[in-house]
Amino acid sequence: MGAFHLFHVICCLFTLEISASVSQSTDFFQVLESFFHRHVMVRHAALHTVFLTLQQGLVHPVQCVPYLVAASSDQEPLVHKEADQQVRPPQDLAI
């Protein structure tokens, strides 16, 4: 297992652990602000935290939409593709 993969696994486990508690506190705003961090891994971890928090229904999506739209224009393909997927409706619901 490479160092990058191990880091990603640790980030995912940490993200799962904190998504519920973060959504109920003012820390969620800090997670959203991390979309603008200079390090791509921080931006990706923030995006993943928001994804899991939204998936669990712990926050209202309207809080996240401006940040997801901003992240969809990120230079890093990993970030902008995942953010774009969150903003777009599923294909079966598209008009």
Terminus-to-terminus CA distance in the chain, angstroms?
43
Query: Residue 69 pLDDT > 80, yes or no?
Result: yes
Domain boundaries, the chain: 3-87
Report residue 63 as tokens.
């809080």
Q: Which residue has the higher pLDDT, 8 or 42?
A: 42
**77: pLDDT confidence band, cut at 50, 70 and 90?**
very high
pLDDT tens by residue, 9-20: 455 555 555 555
Rounded CA-CA distance 71/9 in Å is 22
pLDDT tens by residue, 26-56: 678 888 998 999 999 989 988 988 888 888 8
Provide CB contacts within 8 A for 78, sequence distance 6+. 40, 44
